[in-house]
Chains A and B, each alone.
Chain A
Amino acid sequence: MNHDRAKMLLPAYADRQTGPLRRFLLGRHIARCPSCLAELETMHAMRTAMRINLPMHRAPPSLAMRIGTALPREAPPSIRWRPMRSGMAGSALAGGLAGIALTVAVTQLSPQPDTLIADVVSDHVRSLMADHLTDVATSDRHTVKPWLSDRLDLSPVVKDFAIEGYPLAGGRLDYVKGHRAAAIVYRRDKHVINLFAFVSDDRSELAPRQLALNGFNVVRWRMDGLSYVAVSDVEASQLLAFARLVMGGP
């Protein structure tokens, strides 16, 4: 690769945004070209300086509360794909949504995402955003379990796995595909795990299946006539380990 071409592509090299072949050819040129090497080092130094010295502005604690208060308390569970309001047209958001609509059209060419999974991931995000994680907030399973059983005609597994690193945080009533569901809330470090339990038409046993959607990991299974779906942004292996704890397995 000649110098002019290499110099033009240096940012992509520094940002690790090239394919392996181009990366190899660039690397070979840089090793022999002091000018490109100096330029690369400057780019790296700049990034380091920005990451270390540029103040990270953290959201003030009051902001999450302020947003939580402003959000609608309960979103209607049955309405999906709400039509865009005409009043929004012309705003920058409309432009943004046009982009999203395009994304939707493209992704639907690939196999349809499991609507149940899309539903629980949406519920998970909603619970985080609305700061409405729990209706009953306690690590005491003897409080959470009867609380849920009293309100739903089902009795899901509720245990505290604090020793294993998944402390129980509480419970909440939610909806999955329009049916009432128990949402049992656990924590893993700073992450939240929502475990949904509900009665499905198919009550046969189902071994755990791992999926990922929208950057969230999902594990679903059926046991004792109940469907369980665990959703979180923890690593897939950690979520699977959590699911096995709930199943009472090794």
Chain B
Amino acid sequence: MPHLDAAFNLARWLTGNTADAEDVVQDAYLRAFRYLDAFRGDNFRVWLLTIVRNSFLDWLKDNRSGRNLFQPAPADLESTDPNPTPEAMLLDRVDGETLSILMARLPAEYREVLILREIEDLSYKDIAAVTGLPAGTVMSRLSRARLALRKAWTENEKKS
């Protein structure tokens, strides 16, 4: 099945658990299959990831109140200047478990752009297609997401 790992990884990061991710991915593939003939884009993976995200939104509506998900991020995350200290060295030391926890705490709107950009390596244009964001705002969304993750990271370092 094409791009199943990419679809599952995105769904897993959006839902936060394996069982729900499987449901979302299954729903997405059934939809994709049904509407396969309507696909006339140029990138099948981008098309599939778009459907995964749509399935996730429907899953949210059915299963959760949607709180804490796809809500505007707190204003302080948007205006804070990044810490000018050389964080690059700090970032190298973070372990996978800590990183997972920090990621999971981010709003879903930040998680998805980070996964699509850093893991899936999608262009801004493709990220816009998947998320429905205007193409011009992908970069600023990504910047805020990175800043939020760095902030969480720095705070975590201070605590430990």
Contacts and interface: CB of A to CB of B under 8 A. Distances in A.
Interface of A: 11-12, 15, 17, 35, 38-39, 41-51, 53-60, 63-64, 66-68, 70-72, 75, 80-82, 91-93, 95-97, 99-101, 103-104, 107, 113, 118, 122, 125-126, 128-131, 214-216, 233
Contacts of B29: 67, 71, 129
Contact of A45 (B42, B55, B87, B123): B87
A38 to B, nearest CB: 6
Contacts, number: 175
A122 B37 CA distance: 7
Given A15-B124, A45-B87, A92-B54, A56 B41 contact: no
Interface in B71-102: 82, 84, 86-89, 91-92, 94-96, 99-100
B2 A129 contact: yes
B5 A53 contact: no
A184 B146 CA distance: 47
Contacts of A214: 39-44
B16 to A, nearest CB: 11
B40 A100 contact: yes
B119 to A, nearest CB: 7
Interface in B58-82: 58, 82
A70 B30 contact: yes
B132 interface: yes
9 contacts: A15-B142, A38-B88, A42-B150, A53-B95, A57-B12, A59-B4, A107-B40, A215-B45, A233-B2
A49 B142 contact: no
A50 B121 CA distance: 12
Given A39-B82, A104-B38, A214-B42, 14 more contacts: A15-B124, A17-B139, A41-B86, A42-B91, A58-B9, A59-B4, A92-B54, A93-B54, A95-B132, A97-B35, A100-B38, A100-B40, A118-B40, A214-B40
Interface of B: 1-2, 4-5, 7-9, 12-13, 18, 21-22, 25-26, 29-33, 35-45, 47, 50-51, 54-55, 57-58, 82, 84, 86-89, 91-92, 94-96, 99-100, 103, 114, 117-119, 123-124, 129, 132, 139, 142-143, 146, 149-150
A35 B7 CA distance: 37
A162 to B, nearest CB: 24
B99 A54 contact: yes
Contact of A67 (B25, B36, B117, B142): B25
B5 A44 contact: no
B150 to A, nearest CB: 7
Nearest to B91: A45
A146 B138 CA distance: 55
B28 to A, nearest CB: 9
A51 B91 CA distance: 12
Contacts of A82: 37
B21 A103 contact: no
